[in-house]
Structure 1
Amino acid sequence: MDALGRHIIVEFYGCTSARLNDVIHIEQGMLNAATEAGATVINSTFHHFSPFGVSGVVVIQESHLAIHTWPEYQFASVDLFTCGDIVDPWVSFDLMKEVLEATHYSAMEMQRGSLHLLEKAGETPSELQPLADMQPKVKSSRDVWFTEREQNTAFSVRHTGDLLYRKNSPFQKVEVYQTFEFGNMLVLDGCIMCTEKDEYAYHEMIAHVPVLTHPNPKRALIIGGGDGGVARELLRHEQLEQVVMVEIDALVIEASKAHLPSISAALEHPQLDLRIEDGIKYVQNAKDAAFDVVIVDSTDPIGPAAGLFNEAFYRQVYRILSENGILVVQSESPRYNQRIFREIFDCHRQIFGRDQVYCYLAYIPTYPTGMWSFSYASKGSAHPLTGLDDEHANAFATTHQLQYYNAGVHRGAFALPTFVSNMLGDNQ
């Protein structure tokens, strides 16, 4: 070969969109394309960008393979660069065409570092080493990332690259990744729902705040919550005689039972009345004053959760709450989802009364901005602060070895940053 390297630039067209959006499939395909071509893999770094797109590079001893995909256009741009004449980049090309299921392509090969234009530097090793001593002692590594993107920001989590669970339900795509920092991570339609390491903050705060401020809670309803975390926390309260959980997506429950055992264990609890059905219809058909506490643990207001964010649904919830009933809802990030955040509180205040609805915050590292809000709506005399018995709350937290909740955190959660109070109109 009369050049230092060979560089193939490829544009793959008509690829399968699902393949182009599958970071694990692409990473494994490119690793195989490198090794089959005779290359020595040093490391791989791949990112998935929610909702669409994968970028990645496989660094080989002989140079690199790189890719970026546009699933929405069924298109991928690929670079295959090898040094020397031992590794054939066209072998990698053939394999990547199969991996991406491309219908057609445009490819161009360039010779990099033409030898007739180059002259070796004068410095050479003073002693020649035996060939065996020059063989690299390479230990390859993988660097695969899941990225959840907002409009102008992104949050990335490194995982093993081996997908634990992926299925498409009639409602959403359900995935579980094994991450290095947060343990197993449940993802729905590209959005992080919970992780083993930080789930307790969300689940403890959405469950214990209403139950520990209700004068006499006996019956609780969970809408959503398929991972089982809210059920786990509610079932710690012995005074609750009935806990009903209504989850629309059986695959969320299946994935959680299989891969999130510390969160989902309560799904097998004999006291839990678990129903796989539409929570909206369940509420519509429930009797008046049927529950003392209703918790809506939903995803963002898209897909199957869209109907959980409108006035008609919450008027039905108001109807099924008992005289002193409490509704708690996850109400999004007040920094990123300001419109939805305001709409939720405006809706609840119209139904429950302005002075009966309160905002509180918790901090979850894997949620956008880390700051997450909850709406606490009281139908009667229950109050989130005056109704709290600090001594009892702290004793409860100690007995159950809670990781986040205690009486001080409970009270502090209702002390809002000024910008949040301003959005709610509380400083007017």
Structure 2
Amino acid sequence: MHSLGRHILVEFFGCSSEILNDVPYIENSMRRAAQEAGATLISSVFHHFSPFGVSGVVVIQESHLAIHTWPEYRYAAVDLFTCGHAVNPWVSYNILKQAFQADHGSAIELNRGALELLEKSEVDLGELRDQVTQKLVEPKFSRSVWFTDRDENIALSIRHKGDRVFREKSPYQTVEIFDTYAYGKMLTVDNVVMCTEKDENAYHEMIVHVPMLLNPDIRRVLVIGGGDGGSVREILRHPQVEAVTMVEIDEVVVRASRQYLPSLSHALDDPKLNLIIGDGIRFMQAAASEAYDLIVIDSSDPVGPSEGLFSPSFYEQAHRCLKPGGVMTAQSESPRFNHAAFVDLVQCLRSIFGRDYVHCYLAFIPTYPTGMWSFTYSSKGGADPIRGFDRKRAAAFAAQENLQYYNADIHPAAFCLPTFVKNMLNG
């Protein structure tokens, strides 16, 4: 041995762009590369880098393996540093080159701490050394792997347990489920949080019970989207409902939710539900006029398969399909995170339903970027969401159903918009 450690500086070129943006895959590959090289793992910390890419480090008893990726260039820079010569960093190099599907790689090995340049001194720790030696235990490996939902300027990161519970790429999007430490199972689509077990009640209770507790005669309901099943679960708490039709474009979302999110999806097997795997836009175009008392637009962000759910033509069809006095609620994005989409949708609905029949309201969902999320209540000449509100009925229902977010005080308060939101909508 001629040095204290070996340090390999690595560059991988022509890698898979998808892999280089995949935090769990990279973290698993880096851990495997360390283990198969003979290292003892201490901890790992990995997260998405803004706007994309992955940064992370695996700390080993013999030093570390670190990485930063640039998916847009199909390039990864890796740092392999091992103390002593019991661990072979070139084993790690070969594993990672294959894992990242690199066309080629280059590396420079440096000997760190050349012994001929060093003078070893005797250090006598005496009794302290003996006490520490008696307390030595095998290190316990810890993982810190993060999922990040972000745009160009804002990001929300949530720590999860490292390995995906579910991942499948459908014809429309990539559907994943992670097991998070703070929020339980989390469903994501194309790296955007859809819902978590811990805070999904805020979203689903507010999009459903606000309209339903204003009209006790709602019997026929249409849900567009909502493949996790949370909205259907809330709708079917109301015994007067006779039939629910749900149109979800992606079968994979439904299947993943049924398997891993039973607290949300259990109502998907209710006999009152007609579940259709199909395009909600086409379904609405073909649906009969004045067929529904309530339409719930439980869509994801206005990209990919949900983009058409934010168009004037879609909401004109929704208006046509509502019975007189009927109501539509839609998730309408975050006033802070998706400012333009939020304003455009509310203005679009005002032009179709009439300004006096469109009302924006808010809920607070910690795992959605900024925490503030909006819904829009639009009626076809139906009840005003404040003047038509029966507080006593709402309070009794919320208590009976043990609701976790909605209550008789939240209902009117949700329509009290901050000044900056009012200015957005009235500007």
TM-score above 0.5 = yes
Superposition deviation, residue 32 in structure 1:
1.6
Question: Residue 406 of structure 1: SS of its match in structure 2?
Answer: coil
Cα deviation, residue 297, structure 1: 0.4
Distance 1:129 1:94, change over 3 A: farther
Give the whole-Å Cα distance in 1 for the aligned partners of 2:136 and 2:340: 60
Indicate conservation of the 8 Å contact 2:216/2:240, yes or no.
no
Deviation of residue 228 (structure 1)?
0.2
The answer (yes or no) to whether the contact 2:245–2:275 under 8 Å persists in 1 is yes
1:50–1:190 CA contact under 8 A, matched in 2: no
Does the C-alpha gap of structure 1 residues 134 and 367 become closer, same or farther in structure 2, counting only changes over 3 Å? closer
Residue 6 (structure 1) aligns with: 6
How far 1:252 sits from its partner (Å)?
A: 0.3
2:396 aligns to what SS in structure 1? helix
Partner of 2:48: 48
2:421 matches 1:420: yes
CA shift for structure 1 position 137: 2.0
Aligned AA (2:115): L
390-399 or 102-111: which moved more?
Answer: 102-111
TM-score normalised per structure 1: 0.96
Distance change >3 Å, CA 270–CA 51, structure 1 → 2: farther
Q: Which shifted more, 389-398 or 208-217?
A: 208-217
Structure 2 residue matching 1:17: 3-state secondary structure: coil
Distance 2:51 2:152 in 1: 11
Deviations 1:343-363 (A, max 9, x none): 001100111111111110000
CA apart distance, 1:117: 3.3
Deviation at 1:89, TM superposition (A): 1.1
Name the residue aligned to 1:238.
239
> Structure 2 counterpart of 1:99, which letter?
A
- Residue type of the partner of 2:269? E
**Distance (Å, rounded) in 1 between the aligned partners of 2:134 and 2:36:** 25
Aligned residue in 1 for 2:90: 90
What corresponds to 1:224 in structure 2? 225
* Aligned residue number for residue 34 of structure 1: 34
Q: Which residue of 1 aligns with 2:115?
A: 115
In the alignment, what sits opposite 1:352? 353
Which shifted more, 200-209 or 154-163?
154-163
1:156 matched residue in structure 2: 157
The yes-or-no answer on 1:312 pairing with 2:313 is yes
CA distance in 2, matches of 1:368, 1:276: 29
Shift of 1:71: 2.1
Match of 1:411 in 2: 412
Partners of 1:85 and 1:266 in 2: CA distance: 59
Output the amino acid matched with 1:343: D
Structure 2 CA distance for aligned equivalents of residues 243 and 207 of structure 1: 13
Give the direction of change, closer, same or farther, for the CA distance of 1:49–1:200 in structure 2 (3 Å limit).
farther
Gaps of 5+ in 1: none
Whole-angstrom CA distance in 1 between matches of 2:419 and 2:12: 51
Checking the alignment, whether the CA contact within 8 Å between 1:49 and 1:148 is kept in structure 2 is no
- What aligned pairs does 1:46-195 form with structure 2 within 5 A after superposition? 46-49=46-49, 52-120=52-120, 123-126=123-126, 137-195=138-196
Q: Distance in 2 between matches of 1:336 and 1:99?
A: 35
Judge conservation of contact 1:4–1:114 (CA < 8 Å) in 2: yes
Q: Contact between 2:40 and 2:61, CA under 8 Å: does it hold in 1?
A: yes
Q: TM-score, normalised by structure 2?
A: 0.96
**Amino acid paired to 2:18:** A
Q: Tell me how far 1:130 sits from its aligned partner.
A: 12
What letter matches 2:2 in structure 1?
Answer: D
Q: State the partner residue of 1:249.
A: 250
Deviations 1:202-243 (A, max 9, x none): 000000001111262121110000000000000011111121
Residue 16 of structure 1 corresponds to which residue in structure 2? 16
Instruction: Tell me the distance in 1 between the aligned counterparts of 2:216 and 2:264.
Output: 28
Distance 1:96 1:148, change over 3 A: same
Letter in 1 for 2:206: M
Summarize the alignment of residues 206-355 of structure 1 with structure 2, pairs less than 5 Å apart.
206-214=207-215, 216-355=217-356
Give the root-mean-square deviation of aligned CA atoms.
Answer: 1.9
Asked whether 1:368 is paired with 2:369, we answer: yes
Q: Distance in 2 between matches of 1:393 and 1:34?
A: 57
Greater mean alpha carbon deviation, residues 85-94 or residues 367-376? 85-94
SS in 2 for 1:407: coil
2: distance between equivalents of 1:227 and 1:98?
Answer: 36
Which residue identity is paired with 1:119? E
Query: Partners of 2:322 and 2:83 in 1: how far apart?
Result: 71
User: Contact 1:162/1:177 (CA < 8 Å) preserved in 2?
Assistant: yes
* Aligned partners of 1:67 and 1:78 also within 8 Å: yes
Deviation string 1:297-344 (CA, Å, 9 cap, x unpaired) is: 000000000000010111111111111011111000001211111100
- What number of residue pairs does the alignment pair up? 426
Deviation at 1:50, TM superposition (A): 7.9
Partner Cα separation in structure 2 for residue 374 and residue 259 of structure 1: 27
Ranges in structure 2 where 5+ consecutive residues have no aligned partner:
none
Whichever residue aligns with residue 266 of structure 1, its letter is: A
Alpha-carbon distance in 1 for matches of 2:105, 2:394: 64
**CA distance, structure 2, for counterparts of residue 106 and residue 155 of structure 1:** 35
CA distance in 2, matches of 1:344, 1:9: 50
> CA, structure 1 residues 51+287, in 2 after alignment: closer, same or farther (shift >3 Å)?
farther
Offset of residue 135 of structure 1: 6.6
My pick for the range that moved more, 331-340 or 198-207, is: 331-340
Residue 391 (structure 1) aligns with: 392
Task: State the shift of 1:168 in Å.
Answer: 0.7
* Partner amino acid, structure 1, of 2:414: A
Seq. identity, %: 57
**CA deviation profile, 1:2-59 (whole Å, cap 9, x unmatched):** 3222110101011122322222222222112112212111111111358742221110
Letter matched to residue 292 of structure 1 = D
Which secondary structure state, in structure 2, belongs to the residue aligned with residue 416 of structure 1? coil
Shift in Å, 1:142: 1.5
Deviates more, 1:170-179 or 1:51-60: 51-60
Offset of residue 194 of structure 1: 0.1
Deviates more, 1:409-418 or 1:380-389: 380-389
Matches of 1:57 and 1:320, distance apart in 2: 54
- Mapped to 2, the partners of 1:401 and 1:258 lie a distance apart of 24
* 1:131 to 1:337, Cα distance in 2 relative to 1, 3 A: closer
Q: Which has the higher mean CA deviation after the structures are superposed, 409-418 or 379-388? A: 379-388
